[in-house]
Structure 1
Amino acid sequence: MGQPGAMKSSGALAPLALFSTLLFLALYAKTVLALFLAEDFESVSLDMNVHSVHKRVNERFLSVTIDASLVAEERFMYLLGSPKLRALAKALTPAFLRFGGTKQDFMKFNPQSEYLSSKSNSRKSVHYQGYSCDRFELPPLLEDKLKQEWTLQTSLLHQEELQRKYKKVKFSEYAVDLLYSFANCSGLDLIFGLNALLRTPGNTWDSQNAEVLTSYCESRHYVMSWELGNEPNSYEKKAGIRIDGHQLGQDFLHLRNILQESKLYHSSGLYGPDVGQPREHHKDILTEFLETAADAIDATTWHHYYVNGRDASLEDFLDPQVLDTLAVKTNEVLETVLSVSPMKKVWLGETSSAYGGGAMGLSDTFVAGFMWLDKLGLAAKMGLDVVMRQVLIGSGTYHLVDDNLDPLPDYWLSVLYKRLVGPEVLKAGVLSNSVPKRLLRVYLHCTNRNSSSYRQGAVTLFTLNLSKHQINISLPARISNSSIKAFVLQSAEPGEKGLYSRAIKLNGALLKMVDERTLPPLSGAEVPLGEPLKLPGLSFAFYILQQAHAAVC
């Protein structure tokens, strides 16, 4: 009799057990989905001050260099006559163009014209008809030949760098003509780096060769500025010559006197001393130099690289602690300059991701953009007046334009920065205390009014997402209803593999030149009104807040 009752009870419980199981599975699925979504994106809020200017930088803040190694074989200077390269350079204006680097201290001006062959004739003027941009334009067949040969030349220069055996080279007035034509026809302001390792027996700078060069440039009416020497702290290692800061200062004072005697260059810019980033010996050189020759220069220049290119890793390029080392080194330089010459502007006279020519497979790929954009943001925030990117074109792997003269990801990033970011630096920060605060870097400027159609009062927010997950960014309530244009830059390939890509997408569209002389339109995408900014993982972006109503902008 008891068995039938037990069977009935069990049957009644079966649906309840099934319901409980389904409920458990539903709750479990919801929890898993929630966890998945939590990992898929994070949300943060920003604090933004659009009422006062924190810093103001030079309108040529983002500037570029051409490494002096290009003149190691003078024929390669003809690459500067490429219409394609000139079109790419023009898109980066206004900017300085520094011609210098390690090779500048191993090169000597060797004019072919008889009237320039001796110092006694160096001040003679010649009949000069002016320069023509068409005259120096490189024919396509010659351009293709030089690009093929340049690939081999860069390999030879890399070996020279590794061995630290630097060959002395000579360059003629034709190289100078090509360089100046490139700068002038592209709209860049040329800074020429003179050789500081031409020394007298008493270890003072021998200025004879520089005087011949400046006289030639003056005879051609070449408007330009000057530097003397590159990373003097490494002269002993590179050339067996030691120069202290005081002597270097005396050399600069001598150069300033030479320039003041010139009708054309008496008030031209002179920048230096182009020391490496602070270490004990470097700081001594900079301090002694400024104590001796601060009045001779228009800005103090120093160099910065994050890591050694020979052993840098992918993780280095995405590590917030590595990126923060720039602030540490910048503070040291600013403190030194402030203590000796408080009103002197400070420039990053040469900089990129990794020293030693860059990190192979990293410095010319998408991932390098995290170091480059963060450097631009942090340097401006700290008040560095100019940042010169090593290099536009030249040996190494940290260039903006590859050996075929095609633009690399950092080039497109630089062009967007030029078009969208103004010189007025504002304050912005992440309010969240969660993980994204470390992995989200944010910077705020007035929008560039000179090269954009955005209305007065607009601001540009640029951001880097170092995490693998999307970050949703909420703006302050007072500007959350502003119309927003987004310029989101992602690798052309998905996943971690994409970090090694040499191609980049803007709002999902691959960036490439329309033809050899034309850049594509770089258009922003509308962000739906009131929605947070959705920054994908491992990407960076510019956002134009068109109705920020920033009175200072």
Structure 2
Amino acid sequence: MAMTRSSGCKVGIGIVIAALAASHKAAAQVSTPSVDPSRLPRLGTVDERFQSYNVEMVEVTGGRFWKPYKASASAPPNRGADNTGNIPAGAKPDLYAYREPIDLSNRRLRALAAALAPAYIRVSGTWANSTYFAGSDATPPTPPPDGFRAVLSRERWRGVIDFARAAGAEIVTSMAISRGARDAAGRWRSDQARHLFDYTKSVGGRIAAAEFMNEPTLTAMGGAPTGYDAAAYGRDFKAFVAFIRDSEPDVIVLGPGSVGETMASQSSSGFISTRDLLAASGPGIDAFSYHHYGALSQRCSGIPGQTTPEAALSEAWLKSTEQTFAFYRSLRGEFAPGKPMWLTETAEAACGGNPWAATFLDTFRYLDQLGRLARAAVQIVAHNTLAASDYGLLEETTLRPRPNYWAALLWRRLMGTTVLDAGVHEGIHLYAHCRWGARGAVTLLAINTDRTTTAMLRLPAASERYTLSADDLQSDTVKLNGTVLELGPNDDLPRLAAVTSPPGSIEIGPATIAFLTVADAKNPACD
């Protein structure tokens, strides 16, 4: 049959189009992971309090903490002009706003925290390093005693103990290490620590774990005496361990609680490397603690380590949590082999978080971080904070849950302590745990960080699906299966209703997160 040049071109184009279509179809099939929840092998376990949170010491005492970018209409006036004494050394006062002490008896706060139980509540932070614990029920001294920047009254600490009990949380804290907590020769004294522990026990409370100090890599900012170095830390840490072993043998000794070595902060004045701290302090820790922030927030402009909303879903940003973990895991292996690892402070960015830390955009980091660190056998991840500044799980004045709170609630209800190996798959971040409280059941956490492309996942069994999404990634509201999550009229938590997905391919929409539970997985690791 004769063929014109025109028809030949059409045939050629048709062949090319068909070939491209077949190629795309094959690529789609290759990129669609097929996961059988019944066969996922066990990687290990995490502590039942794996997902925990911080309440900063300055929240308990009242004082100046990171100022939110948007002032709430219900926020108290900024009384910071006469309260600059309790901000970290060298900090800019205009980065902070005064806060009255947090009301830990608030019914909404207690109920929302209790929904995340069991957990650890870590009451520490930079401010704890220089906070004086009042030795009696008398009116606390004003101003603080010489060598301290703030005062923790017995009443306020009793509030922490009562809150922890009501919220199903165990207390983690750290010691005062500033000049006021030292003798004439500059050595750390245990009397402040002894008063704190003795009072806690006298009112029926318990401190489960303690770090010697908050972030000893940044001693100058943290309130340590001028010229404080690794040798001084090693001497003081040994005294702290001796005090704990003698007086509080059931308390878990955490350390060193370092921060900054995977950022640019180590170049700052007074920075002490973790290696030097560990070499000087010797053995003594029961768990290796560290802190992680992938960047410094916009408040700290001019300091290296910034990030942007455009980078918030990038692999480079999300994997920073693994890079920090790998750095400290190496030191743990060298100086404290076999000890569990605790991430005792983390959030979107240091210095109170960026504006988008309060939005759904940060939920990808929050859940991806939990998934990565559980897979790496980190035992505790304590988010900073429960309810202060832009990175709080709750808005600090209204206590309205932010997107990360709803993500935390779903994790608590669906992801158990046994971690499974879901593999590594192109186009989707996938994590798996035995489901909390359901024998044989498995929960998959599927995170699609692509803003434009739908990810696919193939399951051989029916699943119950909980999809988190938002119309605007930088919204402070989030939807579950298309319905906005919000508290009821009496602060009741909404029903977290799933939708059923039949066996086969499941679509994970662009920039969405899905928990998928398979009740009849019958995974032997989950019995």
Q: CA deviation at 1:206?
A: 2.7
8 Å Cα contact 1:77/1:178 also seen in 2:
no
Q: CA deviation at 1:184?
A: 0.8
Which residue in 1 is equivalent to 2:518?
545
Q: Could you tell me how far apart the structure 2 residues matched to 1:291 and 1:483 are?
A: 55
Alignment partner of 1:257 out of 242, 263, 267:
242
Q: Secondary structure at the match of 1:397?
A: coil
Which residue in 1 is equivalent to 2:56?
67
Which residue in 2 is equivalent to 1:247?
232
Q: CA deviation at 1:283?
A: 8.0
Which residue in 1 is equivalent to 2:329?
334
Q: CA deviation at 1:525?
A: 1.0
Q: Could you tell me how far apart the structure 2 residues matched to 1:522 and 1:173 are?
A: 39
Identity of aligned residues (%): 25
Q: Tell me which amino acid in the other structure corresponds to 1:105.
A: N
Note if 1:465 corresponds to 2:448.
yes
Which residue in 2 is equivalent to 1:215?
198
8 Å Cα contact 2:127/2:222 also seen in 1:
no
Q: Tell me which amino acid in the other structure corresponds to 1:544.
A: T
Q: Secondary structure at the match of 1:80?
A: coil
Q: Secondary structure at the match of 2:493?
A: coil
State the aligned residue count: 463
Alignment of 1:271-420 (within 5 A): 271-278=254-261, 284-286=273-275, 288-289=277-278, 292-295=281-284, 297-310=285-298, 311-360=306-355, 362-394=356-388, 396-403=389-396, 404-420=398-414
8 Å Cα contact 1:287/1:340 also seen in 2:
no
463-472 or 193-202, which deviates more: 193-202
Could you report, residue by residue, the CA deviation over 1:136-169 in whole angstroms, capped at 9, with x for unpaired residues? Answer: xxxxxxxxxxxxxxxxxxxxxxxxxxxxxx9911
8 Å Cα contact 2:35/2:458 also seen in 1:
no
Q: CA deviation at 1:214?
A: 2.0
Q: Secondary structure at the match of 1:235?
A: coil
Q: 1:167 to 1:541 in 2, by over 3 A?
A: farther
Q: Could you tell me how far apart the structure 1 residues matched to 2:49 and 2:259 are?
A: 22
Could you report, residue by residue, the CA deviation over 1:26-50 in whole angstroms, capped at 9, with x for unpaired residues? Answer: 9999999999999999952145683
Q: Tell me which amino acid in the other structure corresponds to 1:399.
A: G
8 Å Cα contact 1:41/1:472 also seen in 2:
no
Q: Tell me which amino acid in the other structure corresponds to 2:112.
A: L
Q: Which aligned segments of 4 or more residues in structure 1 are displaced greater than 6 angstroms? A: 22-42, 280-283
Q: Could you tell me how far apart the structure 1 residues matched to 2:30 and 2:352 are?
A: 37
Q: Could you tell me how far apart the structure 2 residues matched to 1:208 and 1:290 are?
A: 26
Q: Tell me which amino acid in the other structure corresponds to 1:276.
A: V
TM-score w.r.t. structure 1 length?
0.75
Q: Could you tell me how far apart the structure 2 residues matched to 1:193 and 1:460 are?
A: 35
Q: Could you tell me how far apart the structure 2 residues matched to 1:228 and 1:309 are?
A: 27
Which residue in 2 is equivalent to 1:490?
469
Q: Secondary structure at the match of 1:77?
A: coil
Alignment of 1:170-249 (within 5 A): 170-197=151-178, 198-225=181-208, 226-239=210-223, 241-249=226-234
Alignment of 1:87-126 (within 5 A): 87-113=111-137
Q: Could you tell me how far apart the structure 1 residues matched to 2:334 and 2:347 are?
A: 27
Which residue in 1 is equivalent to 2:507?
534
Could you report, residue by residue, the CA deviation over 1:273-331 in whole angstroms, capped at 9, with x for unpaired residues? Answer: 21104357878434643663433x32111000112211431122111012112212211
> RMSD of aligned C-alpha atoms?
3.5
Q: CA deviation at 1:338?
A: 1.1
8 Å Cα contact 2:345/2:381 also seen in 1:
yes
Q: Could you tell me how far apart the structure 2 residues matched to 1:287 and 1:30 are?
A: 63
Q: 1:327 to 1:260 in 2, by over 3 A?
A: closer
Q: 1:40 to 1:313 in 2, by over 3 A?
A: farther
Alignment partner of 1:504 out of 457, 460, 478:
478
8 Å Cα contact 1:489/1:505 also seen in 2:
yes
Q: Secondary structure at the match of 1:195?
A: coil
Q: Tell me which amino acid in the other structure corresponds to 2:497.
A: S
Q: CA deviation at 1:193?
A: 2.2
Q: Could you tell me how far apart the structure 2 residues matched to 1:547 and 1:353 are?
A: 36
Q: Tell me which amino acid in the other structure corresponds to 2:446.
A: T
Q: Could you tell me how far apart the structure 2 residues matched to 1:227 and 1:113 are?
A: 26
Q: Which has the higher contact order (CA 8 A, sep 6+)?
A: 1
Q: Could you tell me how far apart the structure 2 residues matched to 1:105 and 1:208 are?
A: 14
Which residue in 1 is equivalent to 2:94?
none
Q: CA deviation at 1:194?
A: 1.8
Q: CA deviation at 1:383?
A: 1.5
8 Å Cα contact 1:420/1:460 also seen in 2:
yes
Q: Which runs of 5+ in 2 are unaligned?
A: 64-98, 142-146, 299-305
Which residue in 1 is equivalent to 2:499?
525
The structure whose Rg is larger is 1
Q: 1:378 to 1:246 in 2, by over 3 A?
A: farther
Q: 1:305 to 1:195 in 2, by over 3 A?
A: same
Select the structure that is richer in helix: 1
